[in-house]
Amino acid sequence: MTIAIICASHSDEILNANLARSPMIAEATVPLHLERDAASAALAYNRAIDATDADILIFAHHDVYLPRGWENLLARRLRELETHDTNWALYGPFGVGLDASHIGPVWSSSIGLIVGRVPTAPAQVQSYDEMVIVMRRSSGLRFDENLPGWHMYGTDIVTTARTKGLHAYAGALPTIHNDRYHDHLREDFVESYTAMRHKWRDHLPLRTPIIKISKSGLHLYKNRWQDYRSEKFRANMSVGIAHAPEYLASLCGWSDLTASA
């Protein structure tokens, strides 16, 4: 099983401070394929699918850090998954379960917490946080280039897989997301939300890590109101990105996942 990491990055500063410092990349254990200047995530990732030939494709944000041994733990998780579901197509460290629960231990700097429960077995999901999505090439999946921008493609690719009879899972794959605090949902997010509402109208509601996509669209306005009311509280939770990701991994006890693989 061969692995490649794919990243669409617009900032060498963020990339070099996070993803590129991951031991598997810094030590050239796993190749990193970079995409630049794409108009959308779908365009960037489809170009990368065509430009690489690995069996397992890891689409990762540039502000993610993968602790030492992460790739070995991933290989173990996928072997475990294969024993009970040969029809899997996608896997990730954080997703929204079919019951709307948040699954997968991920440290998020924007809220200063580990989010997601740790499942004892892979759990099927209806969406992913786009920070990391693992795809099996043999699934034949591709990202929808009609979907605008850089949001919702984690929900879109899972829904696409499920309509094809393929399965998406999240599991125990500790990951650091050194993300910045966002005070509210911006217009590019609204554009993606609207596109998803129209595309998947017959499959709604769908739950993303951020919002519920509903036929009425009222949850968009509800979330905006909640963001406004909770802005100061959420800002106080954020720890910023001053700490090196290695420190955050150590803080979580994730500095070396080799023993878990």
Given this model, what pLDDT does residue 186 score? Answer: 76
Count Cβ neighbours within 10 Å for each residue of 28-67 and write b for 16 or more, e otherwise. eebebbbbeebebbbbbbbebbeeeebebbbbbbbbbbbb
Percent of the chain with pLDDT over 70: 88
Q: Per the confidence metrics, is the pTM higher than 0.85?
A: yes
Given this model, what pLDDT does residue 234 score? Answer: 45
What is the C-alpha separation between 84 and 172, in angstroms, rounded?
16
Given this model, what pLDDT does residue 248 score? Answer: 86
Q: Which residue type sits at 7? A: C
pLDDT in tens, 149-176: 999 999 999 999 999 999 999 999 999 9
Mean pLDDT of 221-248: 64
Given this model, what pLDDT does residue 232 score? Answer: 56
Beta strands 175-177 and 64-65 are: antiparallel
Q: Is the pLDDT of residue 238 over 90?
A: no
Q: Is the pLDDT of residue 184 over 80?
A: no
Given this model, what pLDDT does residue 130 score? Answer: 97
Mean pLDDT of 1-24: 96
Q: Which has the closest alpha carbon to 208: 185, 230, 225? A: 185
Whole-number average pLDDT of the chain: 90
Q: Can you say whether residue 14 is alpha, beta or left, with left for phi > 0 and alpha for psi between -120 and 50 degrees?
A: alpha
Mean pLDDT of 14-37: 96
The total of other beta-carbon atoms located within 10 Å of residue 234's CB is 17
Residue 74 in contact with residue 30, Cβ under 8 Å?
Answer: no
What is the C-alpha separation between 221 and 190, in angstroms, rounded?
10
Mean pLDDT of 27-50: 97
Structure tokens at 134: 């693992």
Query: pLDDT band for position 220 (50/70/90)?
Result: confident
Given this model, what pLDDT does residue 206 score? Answer: 97
Count Cβ neighbours within 10 Å for each residue of 115-137 and write b for 16 or more, e otherwise. bbeebeebbbbbbbbbbbbbbbb
What is the C-alpha separation between 108 and 103, in angstroms, rounded?
14
Mean pLDDT of 184-209: 91
What is the C-alpha separation between 87 and 179, in angstroms, rounded?
32
pLDDT in tens, 74-108: 999 999 999 999 999 999 999 999 999 999 999 99
Percent of the chain with pLDDT over 90: 75
